[in-house]
A and B are shown apart, each in its own frame.
Chain A
Amino acid sequence: AQSVTQLDSQVPVFEEAPVELRCNYSSSVSVYLFWYVQYPNQGLQLLLKYLSGSTLVKGINGFEAEFNKSQTSFHLRKPSVHISDTAEYFCAVSDPGRRALTFGSGTRLQVQP
């Protein structure tokens, strides 16, 4: 069975500071990894995904994530955050044999001026 652990439920950060949101997963097979963002009172939208190839994945809005197979991690980073990045971020995992995603519990990013 697959599982996803997001180590921080909340991350407060000041505007223009760097941020890292942590995600660890467990799976017995090759994985696909995703980060989704949920802005207040909206549905989720894809930030980025790792399917294969380069372990550094770039997404929308200046976010990037690095797949680390040995540490079973897929941490999300942004070098300089904006107030508009305030949202909840979900890490998710799937694999070639599954149709659906397994989500982590989410990390609430709070960007303060």
Chain B
Amino acid sequence: NAGVTQTPKFQVLKTGQSMTLQCAQDMNHNSMYWYRQDPGMGLRLIYYSASEGTTDKGEVPNGYNVSRLNKREFSLRLESAAPSQTSVYFCASSETGGGGADTQYFGPGTRLTVL
């Protein structure tokens, strides 16, 4: 039982390049989330998916797209990377599709630098 896995662990991009961050969970959870973590700002929600086939914007969605490929996988795409997207990205999952009381389980993170 690996929990939540993320690839890659580290990535360096040039401004304007694109990339996809991958996330998978093996806990049969319904909901999945993408957060970014910046110094002194805690974690901010980019997008979430309450169930397979649905996605919703979070607090900071601009410059990102997501795909809930199936129940296990939730990817985050940067179409044209900008230095402001330099951050640590965390994927998380939770058991149910809503209600706010769920425990979220986090992956180890992807450290992205955009030059």
For chain B, what secondary structure do more than half of its interface residues adopt (helix, strand, loop), or is it mixed?
A: loop
Question: Is A71 an interface residue when CB atoms closer than 8 A count as contact?
Answer: no
Residue from A6, A44, A100, A105 having most chain B Cβ neighbours under 10 A: A100
**Of A4, A45, A94, the contact of B106 (CB 8 Å cutoff):** A45
Do B40 and A9 have beta carbons less than 8 Å apart?
Answer: yes
Q: Which residue of B lies closest to A101 (CB)?
A: B104
Question: Is A63 an interface residue when CB atoms closer than 8 A count as contact?
Answer: no
Do A43 and B108 have beta carbons less than 8 Å apart?
Answer: yes
With a CB–CB cut-off of 8 A, which chain B residues contact A103?
Answer: 42-44
Q: Smallest CB–CB gap between B114 and chain A, Å?
A: 20
Task: Using C-beta atoms within 8 Å of the partner chain, give the interface range for chain B.
Answer: 20 to 34
Q: Interface readout for B43-61 with A: 1 if CB under 8 Å, 0 if not?
A: 1110010100000101000
Q: Smallest CB–CB gap between B76 and chain A, Å?
A: 15
Question: Is B16 an interface residue when CB atoms closer than 8 A count as contact?
Answer: no
Q: How far is the CA of A103 from the CA of B31 in the complex (A)?
A: 18
Q: How far is the CA of A44 from the CA of B105 in the complex (A)?
A: 7
With a CB–CB cut-off of 8 A, which chain B residues contact A46?
Answer: 103-104
With a CB–CB cut-off of 8 A, which chain A residues contact B56?
Answer: 99
Do B45 and A101 have beta carbons less than 8 Å apart?
Answer: yes
With a CB–CB cut-off of 8 A, which chain B residues contact A90?
Answer: 42-43
Q: Which residue of A lies closest to B41 (CB)?
A: A105
Do A43 and B4 have beta carbons less than 8 Å apart?
Answer: yes
Question: Is B90 an interface residue when CB atoms closer than 8 A count as contact?
Answer: yes
With a CB–CB cut-off of 8 A, which chain B residues contact A43?
Answer: 4, 90, 92, 106-109
- Show 5 A/B contacts (Cβ-Cβ < 8 Å), sorted by A: A45-B106, A46-B103, A49-B103, A99-B50, A101-B100
